[in-house]
Amino acid sequence: MLLHVPNVLTPEQVAQCRAVVDAGTWADGSATAGHIAAQVKRNDQLPETSDAARQAGEMVRRAVLAHPLFVAAALPHRILPPMFNSYGPGQHFGNHIDNAIRVSPIDGVQIRTDLSCTVFLTDPDAYDGGELVVEDTYGAHGVKLEPGDAILYPATSLHRVEPVTRGARVSSFFWIQSMIRDGGQRGLLFELDTAIQRLTIADAKNPVITDLTGVYHNLLRQWSEV
């Protein structure tokens, strides 16, 4: 499932986040890539343990966990501390699949990467190229979103960042270990959750809502690894 999550950060939060990361000291992004990915990765990143990355990352983490659509789709159990990258002219990240296990550089906790998320922090008119391209059974999907918007997609997906030809593309990215390991089960729960929400808006007193909510939580209880 490829999901656009709008307005994760408000314009004010985007400005605050950019002020922090823009003042940080950037480093070669290939240092945090696996052996294979490092061969096709050309970008800059904030060091994961830097003050700027940790401060801005906490802003992003709190924002996504407060966003109902993100929580409904991801059902997050653990989130790796958000990281930050920048792509300038000529920089790109070729086709790759994210590592299955990531280790937090802050507390050493291991995370199974069920989902990947990118939060865009740059106006799309400020740079050319730089699209995130995610491939699935339906083809290749180019993503270039407004600042503050996020894209959520399976970490098993083959994906890339196209070369930037003008300006700079600054984003936050991170991985999520979901309470529901199976993507099909997670997708069914998301569809059921959103259907319950639509029914609640249309007819809040409908007793079927209670029945469906019970089904949702019983499935969550049965499938959850928590």
Take residue 123 and report the two structure tokens written for it: 């106006």
Residue 157 is part of a domain; what is its CATH number?
2.60.120.620
Tell me: the pLDDT tens digits for 106-116?
Answer: 889 999 999 99
Mean residue pLDDT across the chain:
95
pLDDT, residue 37, reads 64
What residues contact residue 134 under an 8 Å CB cut-off, 6+ apart? 2, 140, 141, 143, 151, 153, 157, 158, 159
Shared-domain flag, residues 200 and 166: no
With left for phi above 0 and alpha for psi between -120 and 50, is residue 137 left, alpha or beta?
alpha
How many domains is the chain partitioned into structurally?
Answer: 2
Shared-domain flag, residues 82 and 39: yes
To the nearest 10°, report the CA torsion of 169, 174, 179, 182.
70
Cα 225 from chain centre: 21
CB 61 within 8 A of CB 81: yes
- Give yes or no for residue 1 having a pLDDT over 90: no
Shared-domain flag, residues 110 and 140: yes
Tell me: the pLDDT tens digits for 46-99?
Answer: 999 999 999 999 999 999 999 999 999 999 999 999 999 999 999 999 999 999
Shared-domain flag, residues 37 and 83: yes
Shared-domain flag, residues 133 and 103: yes
CB 92 within 8 A of CB 131: no
For the entire predicted model, the pTM comes to 0.94
The single-letter DSSP state of residue 87 is E
- Give yes or no for residue 45 having a pLDDT over 90: yes
pLDDT, residue 36, reads 66
Shared-domain flag, residues 19 and 82: yes
Lowest mean pLDDT segment, chosen from 19-33, 49-63, 104-118, 152-166: 19-33
pLDDT, residue 29, reads 79
- Is 123 labeled as ligand-binding? no
- Is 160 labeled as ligand-binding? no
Which residue range forms the structural domain that includes residue 60? Answer: 3-178
- Is 28 labeled as ligand-binding? no
Q: Which amino acid is at 185?
A: Q
Shared-domain flag, residues 198 and 151: no
- Is 77 labeled as ligand-binding? no
Tell me: the pLDDT tens digits for 172-192?
Answer: 999 999 999 999 999 999 999
Shared-domain flag, residues 119 and 83: yes
CB 157 within 8 A of CB 97: yes
Which secondary structure element, helix H or strand E, spans residue 74, and what is its range? Answer: helix 68-74
